[in-house]
Structure 1
Amino acid sequence: MGADREGRGRRRLTGVGVYAGCGVLLLTGCASMPDSGDLRGVESTPRQDAQVRVYAMPPRDDAKPLEIVQGFLEALTSDDPNYETARMYLAGKARAEWQPSESTTVLAEGPRAMPAPSGTEGDGGNILYRLTGQEVARVDAQHAYEPSGHSYSRTLHLTRVKGTKQWRIDGLPPGVVMGMSDFHRNYRSVNKYYFASSTSSGRLATVADPVYVRREVDPVTQMVRALLKGPTRWLDHVARTSFPSGTALKKGLGPLTPDDQNKLVVPLNGKADNVGQGRCKEMAAQLLFTLQDLMPTGVAEVELQRSDGGLLCELGEGRAATIASHGVGEGEGEGHEYFIDGDDRLVRMDADGSDRSPDPVPGALGTGDIKLRSAAVERDEERAAGVSLDGGKLYVGSVASGSSLGDPVVTSQGRTEDDRLTTPSWDGRDDLWVADRDRKKPRLLVLRNGVGEPLEVMTPGLDGRIEAVRVAADSVRIALIVEKDGKRSLFIGRIERDTDSDGQEADSDGGTAVSVVALRSATPQWEEVTAMSWAGDSRLVVVGRGSRGVQQIRYVQVDGSMPDGPEPAALTGMKEIAASENEGLPLVAHSEDGIVRLSSGSQWQKVVGEGSAPVYPG
């Protein structure tokens, strides 16, 4: 629970002067409070520097009920590691049993507090305040973010403590609550990394699991503890950890901090004492990948210790990539960007942005013999899939000189071009995905290794028709634009495959059953989504209309939150967009000006006047 910091300077309210309940930014200044009427989110000084810490102050003697409420809410937006100051505002069982880590409720603005109708002093010295607001999200005990959109209404019960006669809170809702701007100041999104549960080649692949942790409260230790607890509930069905069940940090540890050689020592409890070297190095790799996402410089080496302090194993960052494929692998997504040119051929350019002279790809898809409307390129850039100009046929061919195309691997019977095949997508296992929009028989299809008979993917819970498909490099998450009643929305689904006890795909009746389940909205506040592309391990770039109906380009997280950092420059008339999961490569888009490109820190630049369907490998 906490007051919202709007970042427009601090508003001074008439009343009783400076209260001890206000947050301190290692400098002076806090808001004064009225002693009657309703309580509103107090606007506080915005953070000026990432190193500035916000501290709370305990309640002053003889503070009135409203001061106690405000002081408590303000204390929850501070950088107090264990909320000890906030707990000073509590009494009785509330002080002993309150669990702030249970959840964080995020409101559009700071919570409003008003005396409840029955909240009058008297009746033994008790008073009730009601906290209200518009809930936009909730972060659970696993640090997972989930959007919401309903009214928030909870109560705080205050009583006079016997003996001291001081007002304190003795009844409160679980967890904490704060406004959105306070949330963004206090928390940051970081990826934990696990391994995909199923595999077709035996090669481990990492899966990003985004969580929110407090920015200034020992984030390294927070992330290590969160990683050891395992994947969040949504991801747990398709991801696994190499840490044995029950593994935790050794009791009594202080903050985990890399040494001057950028090495991190992680002492574990006895649950991990007997793991072998192979498994231990997988554990260390998970830590390295996670800490690289948390810290700008990452961690150079991880040492895991047994419960007795002995060496379990150690792993350097240079060796982590030998343990598992992680994000964009070597040579994947770094060579070229692709699009369909004015002659309906698949062409490519260097992905670093230096090349503005696209060349036809080697092989049949670059000759123009078969006119194309869209394409997808395998992540190693050895094969490509192309959809015919009328949208009715999907071809797969080698991107090598002299190669030819065989028969189409998928054919749609849709009545119109808009009722046929979507742009295809390759996952990290070299499986090829495409949706058939035939209104009589809409379906999502996957071709294992891009060949053979297409398998229809089960989609329980899908409500609408799939208009676009993009599969993440981890092969366990899929982004879908779904149309229903003329509106297009973006959903993230979980890809589940039948596997045996070793995680290998289990064939049944000549094929592996594949499902896309647990669909959740990635853009709950948007009115319409027209284009999207993966732009990182857990991030997408999206084109559409926001709540005000104006076209915009934004980055969104797979959990529906908005990541920190700058947004792409605006561009009018955008129809399609492509991003690499290597976040350092430019965005490429199809707009009313043709094919355009946006590098970091620059403006959109025109590449060619004619072209469509830009894609990176994947």
Structure 2
Amino acid sequence: MSRGRALLVAIATICATVLAASGCATLPSSSSPQVIDTFSPSGAGLAVPTPVPDQEPDLLVRDFLKAAAIADQRHAAARQFLTPEAADSWDDSAQTTIVLRADLSAEGGRGADRAEYTLRAEKVGSLDPGGIFREDVGQLEVTIGLARRDGQWRIDELPPGVVLERTEFVSTYAQRDLFFLSGSGDSLVPDTRWTAADRTDLEFSLVNLLATGPRPGLESAVLSRIPASVSVRPDDSAEGQQGAGTAIDFTGLPVLSSQATTQFAAQVVWTLARADVPGPYRLERDGAPLDERFADGWTTEDVRTFDPYPPVEPMRNALTAADGLVRLDASGARPAGGPWSQVRGGRSATLSHDGEALAVIAGEDRAAPQRLLIGAVDGEPDDALVAQTLTGPTFHPVDGRAWVMVDDTRLVRVGIGVQAPSVQEMDGAPLRALGSRFTGLRIDPSGAQLAVVVDGKVFIGALSAETGQPLAGTFRQIGRALGETAAVVAWRDRSTVVIGQNTTEVPVTTITVDGAMTTPLSQRNIAGPVTAIAAAGREVYVVDQRSLLRLDTVAETGDRYWREINGLAAIRADPVVAG
């Protein structure tokens, strides 16, 4: 269930991974309440680098960089490579930078008792407190000085902060999701963090992170039933029990209503389950069950309606320019029947999340005006908008209205009205600040975040939990190493987007929402550029230079190639899925 280290970087110059490297506290042996720090590796099975007798200075610096990936006890492992004075004065919390590869050169010269090395590297990310990854670009250059003490080389001069090589980080830390509530309170929103991969107190560190709240930018987009005042302690009665699951005792937790208790449990249970912490989960308040009905523990089945990654069926419909909406089955494609099959010139279409409504952008020629049609799937489509360009549509999962960007300047949402569609102007300023030419617009399945492609770049931003409007200052670019090749975007799931690109080399790429993992999809039997993209469950759908294609992303590697849709070969068609 946890992505962990299985999601290794596929494009070395694109990917980066991070974790905040602040000081650490270890889990106490007593049962008194204790806030558990998040970033200390457990040490179990972990090879900790130590200085080697008579080690050459450049090799000692290399091992120091490896040890810097272990943040336990204020980077105690890395401080072994420093002189006592440098170990006391080194500010490891000042800045943490992830680099692709550290190159060393002895430009400062080397004498019998003194050496100086220049470290140069390409930056790929930086670390924020709470295990939050931030993409970064540019070159890093720092100077590291060494002195010979008692016949052994030790580092005595280095700048504040920590430099981690990507390979060391991905071998030491794992990607895990914290879950917060959407504005409606009935859905979970993932907030991806990076924590030590091998640690014994993972359940407590994750719950502690939940109590600290969502990452900056998500605060106004999500809700939480985990108050900041809560702390956790291990359940001593669970020690030595085999197969007993996980017990967490909360202190400082106020009395919750029945609904709030379920929401609280959903956040905790899914956070732990997705991190492979064993269940059932015995959630207690000051030693007593949080809910007597679940005294033996909660399972994911008890909060199944909150499943953040529910199963999704493959695509069942497609939109053709000549024959409107068609249905797909094992025998091929056939007209869907009804008014939607009479629509001509369809260029993109999206189903509402409940499968009841359909929105279509139609236009016989890209140079001609485009129309937005909306209506019930089994009803008559209504004309809602006419503009020179329309980007979208995308449905909000809660209110069921479709969003479009009109002429690259106006953001509107459209609902199915009794007499005619309702059109509401929204605050498009946060999007206009990103660029001028929009080609992709997609709301995530929880309704908390918005993915945008503008001027060939991909941005992820938050939507207000109260108003649903885009939140200014929350949009951040991901996939910077793609340059300006992005054309279209779709949500593969709540924590990953899939990008269609204006390139023949890597036409389709997936990116985690935090920007840490960028992975190209198969390049077999696809001819970029990609002009449309969608995802449903294990399958991704694109329109390349030739036709509508599908890719089974979990097929055996040897069978992972793009295939044409039966009945739609060489026919202009676009994917139709919920979103």
TM-score by length of 2: 0.77
Shift of 1:378: 0.6
Choose which of 373, 381, 384 in structure 2 pairs with 1:395: 373
- Indicate yes or no: 2:464 matched with 1:496: yes
Query: What aligned pairs does 1:181-196 form with structure 2 within 5 A after superposition?
Result: 181-196=167-182
Partner of 1:537: 494
Partner of 1:365: 340
Choose which of 434, 437, 444 in structure 1 pairs with 2:411: 444
Alpha-carbon separation, structure 2, partners of 1:518 and 1:79:
29
**Aligned residues of 1:120 and 1:128 also touching (Cα < 8 A):** no
Choose which of 205, 222, 227 in structure 1 pairs with 2:187: 205
Query: What aligned pairs does 1:167-566 form with structure 2 within 5 A after superposition?
Result: 167-196=153-182, 198-199=183-184, 203-218=185-200, 219-250=202-233, 260-261=242-243, 263-268=245-250, 270-272=251-253, 274-295=255-276, 299-306=278-285, 308-313=286-291, 314-322=297-305, 324=306, 326-328=308-310, 333-334=312-313, 336-341=315-320, 343-349=322-328, 355-361=330-336, 363-366=338-341, 368-390=342-364, 392-400=370-378, 403-406=379-382, 408-412=383-387, 414=388, 420-429=389-398, 430-437=400-407, 442-447=409-414, 451-460=421-430, 461-483=433-455, 488-496=456-464, 499=466, 505=467, 515=471, 517-527=473-483, 528-544=485-501, 550-562=505-517
Inter-CA distance 130–311: structure 2 relative to 1 (3 Å threshold): farther
Partner of 2:577: 616
Shift of 1:243: 0.8
> Which deviates further from its counterpart, 376-385 or 273-282?
273-282
**Aligned residues of 2:319 and 2:576 also touching (Cα < 8 A):** no
Deviations 1:512-536 (A, max 9, x none): 8655643222220113112321111
Alpha-carbon separation, structure 1, partners of 2:104 and 2:210:
35
- Indicate yes or no: 2:115 matched with 1:137: no
Q: Matched residues, percent identical?
A: 21
Q: Quick one: which amino acid aligns to residue 475 of structure 1?
A: G
Shift of 1:209: 1.0
Deviations 1:573-611 (A, max 9, x none): 4534444363x3x22222344222222313322222213
**Aligned residues of 1:115 and 1:130 also touching (Cα < 8 A):** yes
Q: Quick one: which amino acid aligns to residue 237 of structure 1?
A: S
Deviations 1:159-218 (A, max 9, x none): 566xx675544554445322223333333322211112x33xxx4221111122232334
Alpha-carbon separation, structure 2, partners of 1:514 and 1:109:
37
Alpha-carbon separation, structure 1, partners of 2:548 and 2:9:
39
- Structure 2 unaligned spans of 5+: 1-7, 11-42, 292-296
- Structure 1 unaligned spans of 5+: 8-50, 415-419, 500-504, 506-511
Q: Which has the higher contact order (CA 8 A, sep 6+)?
A: 2
2:381 counterpart SS class: coil
Alpha-carbon separation, structure 1, partners of 2:423 and 2:9:
56
**Aligned residues of 2:509 and 2:521 also touching (Cα < 8 A):** yes
**Aligned residues of 1:81 and 1:217 also touching (Cα < 8 A):** no
Alpha-carbon separation, structure 1, partners of 2:212 and 2:393:
36
Deviations 1:417-445 (A, max 9, x none): xxx2123111211121111226xxx3222
Shift of 1:458: 2.3
Q: Quick one: which amino acid aligns to residue 474 of structure 2?
A: A
Alpha-carbon separation, structure 1, partners of 2:531 and 2:316:
14
Deviations 1:255-310 (A, max 9, x none): x9997547221233x32264455434322211222233323xx644322233x433
Alpha-carbon separation, structure 2, partners of 1:154 and 1:395:
57
Deviations 1:363-387 (A, max 9, x none): 4212x15542221111111110112
Deviations 1:386-413 (A, max 9, x none): 122245221111112xx2233x22221x
Choose which of 534, 542, 564 in structure 2 pairs with 1:606: 564
Partner of 1:595: 548
Query: What aligned pairs does 1:49-64 form with structure 2 within 5 A after superposition?
Result: 53-61=45-53, 63=55
Inter-CA distance 525–253: structure 2 relative to 1 (3 Å threshold): farther
Choose which of 59, 84, 109 in structure 1 pairs with 2:101: 109
Shift of 1:357: 1.8
Alpha-carbon separation, structure 2, partners of 1:452 and 1:538:
31
Alpha-carbon separation, structure 1, partners of 2:298 and 2:9:
43
Deviations 1:35-90 (A, max 9, x none): xxxxxxxxxxxxxxxx9945124224565644542332232346979754323223
Deviations 1:213-254 (A, max 9, x none): 23233454543333332211132231232111132333x889
Inter-CA distance 474–283: structure 2 relative to 1 (3 Å threshold): same
TM-score by length of 1: 0.73
Partner of 2:522: 568
Inter-CA distance 534–261: structure 2 relative to 1 (3 Å threshold): same
2:171 counterpart SS class: helix
1:59 counterpart SS class: coil
Q: Quick one: which amino acid aligns to residue 238 of structure 1?
A: A
- Indicate yes or no: 2:65 matched with 1:73: yes
Shift of 1:318: 0.9
Inter-CA distance 337–568: structure 2 relative to 1 (3 Å threshold): farther
Alpha-carbon separation, structure 2, partners of 1:230 and 1:259:
32
**Aligned residues of 2:325 and 2:343 also touching (Cα < 8 A):** no
Alpha-carbon separation, structure 2, partners of 1:64 and 1:260:
48
Q: Quick one: which amino acid aligns to residue 543 of structure 2?
A: H
Q: Quick one: which amino acid aligns to residue 615 of structure 1?
A: V
Alpha-carbon separation, structure 2, partners of 1:207 and 1:243:
14
Partner of 2:27: none
Inter-CA distance 568–427: structure 2 relative to 1 (3 Å threshold): farther
Alpha-carbon separation, structure 2, partners of 1:70 and 1:383:
58
Inter-CA distance 120–183: structure 2 relative to 1 (3 Å threshold): same
Alpha-carbon separation, structure 2, partners of 1:342 and 1:63:
69
Shift of 1:150: 1.5
Choose which of 59, 81, 87 in structure 1 pairs with 2:79: 87
Inter-CA distance 374–558: structure 2 relative to 1 (3 Å threshold): same
Q: Quick one: which amino acid aligns to residue 508 of structure 2?
A: I
2:391 counterpart SS class: coil
For the aligned residue pairs, the C-alpha RMSD in angstroms reads 3.6
State how many pairs are aligned.
Answer: 513
Alpha-carbon separation, structure 1, partners of 2:239 and 2:60:
36
Deviations 1:71-124 (A, max 9, x none): 32232346979754323223446545767677642112135264647x8777xx
Partner of 1:48: none
**Aligned residues of 2:372 and 2:384 also touching (Cα < 8 A):** yes
**Aligned residues of 1:111 and 1:178 also touching (Cα < 8 A):** no
1:346 counterpart SS class: strand
Inter-CA distance 474–174: structure 2 relative to 1 (3 Å threshold): farther
**Aligned residues of 1:492 and 1:521 also touching (Cα < 8 A):** yes
1:423 counterpart SS class: strand
> Which deviates further from its counterpart, 206-215 or 52-61?
52-61
